[in-house]
Structure 1
Amino acid sequence: MIPGDESWAIVDTHQHFQSLSNAAYPWLDPDRPEPLEGDLAPIRRDYLPADYRRDIEGFGIVKTVHVQNGRNPADPLDETRWLSALARQEGMPDAIVAYADLAAPDVERVLEAHAGFPRMRGIRQILNWHDEPRLRSVATPDLMESPHWRRGFGRLAPLGLSFDLQLYWPQMDLALALARAFPDTSIVLEHFGMVADRTAEGLVGWRSAINRLAQAPNVCVKLCGFGLGAPAWTIEATLPLLRHVLDAFGPKRTMVGTNMPVDLLFAAPNKIISMIHAIARDLSPDERIALLRSNAERFYRI
């Protein structure tokens, strides 16, 4: 944060804790095919509030939102229980986005149990589908159209839960149809739309899909995950992409995040924060406060 200017205070809407010493995180298994993030060895370790506080010291992050991190996926409530205990001890995270398989037969029971935790705010079920198997998170690209999955999705709003949407841009038209079918459900697009293909052709498709998805008033977006698909990313090359998203959604429907520790694979903390500052620098003070803090406080009720 710029000293003396609270308009630069940040709510980190996308960070992860992990404790590999006492839980299973299958996505970090060294025998798993190398994912979009590349070699995960540097983050195959515990990452707890003390580590996070060290990494963000002096950057003006005032609140955090923990997004599900694949802990013991066979028991979706385990991570929420663990994070709730961590929050009581450490004062963070301020909000929890948990995992649930929305197509599961017992999804209503799982969602109701999640909603019983005071810091619980939403659900993320990663929907990434790609022609390349190692980049897939689901078995089919059109899970959002499944009646069984939509039954689970339809339970979110009545329980006061939002949905963190992670997918690739070719799936965004399905997401737009989903948002229009459930206008009372608050949805946030993660990682500014997972720009995994940054070729000229890929960016044309991504920009067009972003513009269409932004038409749904119940969808907002997070600017985070700057290195996903571009491990050698630079501020100069990434800033035009973020500005396109900001122009499409507007500063009242855009939030920011660090994606730590995952994005530490690609950049030091000061570079991540510098990217966030760069996108906020040309905004008015009111727009900057909305982007960096107040939108997140409203969306996640923190």
Structure 2
Amino acid sequence: MTAPQTLLKAWNLKPKKDMGQNFLTDPSTPEMILDRAGIREACGQTIIEIGPGLGAMTIPAARRADHVHAVELDREIIPLLETEIRVAGCNNVTVHSGSILKVDLEPMLAEGRSTLVIGNLPYNISSQILIRLLSFRHRITRGVFMLQTEMAERIVAAPGSRDYGRLSVAMQYCGSVRILASVKAHLFYPKPKVDSSIIEVVFPERPLLQSENEKLFFDVVRAAFGLRRKTLRNSLASGLKELTPQNAEKLLIEADIEPSRRAETLEVAEFVRLADCFIKYK
């Protein structure tokens, strides 16, 4: 693995701060991430990689997977990336130019549920990326993502904690989440201000929890956290046009939830129960 500073200089390129570009400098880190994620050689999977950059993760992933679809936003860096892939002798990588928020993922998804998504997600749009991927979770087996530690802790946070919020509920409703490893800031170029964490999201074939109407479920979660410091009675009445404060209290009682509780105290299963009771108010 050639140092990113050397590669960028040779191609007369610089890291783009607005794209959140921080390149791994330690070749053992991508291998560690793949090992921790259980991605072995000849794993028989299709991998979609978000933000391949200079190929630090792309190349070792390609040596283990059937095919890698690498989605890169930075058009200027793609010729460098493709050259690195070619020099490494990896002929099972397809580089796609575009944003992971807009690119058509359908052609990249494998038959059945043998697609794995990996990537070092830029902090400013990481939650948007994760929410978009949730809509494809029935076609994806797992996701393994590098995030700023603050974001990773939000995703795995338990009810009652300061970090527990809308994203925590959405991710934990859709799959099981855990932190696999931490990656120190000095292992990147340029060095970010904070450390990163690797999280794994496993999407079960049969959901552990299933709302009767998922759109309503996510609407209820959004409304509940819309006024985070208010009671559920007030936040739901404010965020759901179908509810008055009186109806919100009635709904909560029907769902066996104390109206004076706040959103961050509810477990995911309680949000499911609340959303299922809300159906009659639509």
Which TM-score applies when normalising by structure 2? 0.37
Q: Which has the larger radius of gyration?
A: 2
Which TM-score applies when normalising by structure 1? 0.35
Q: Which has the higher strand share?
A: 2
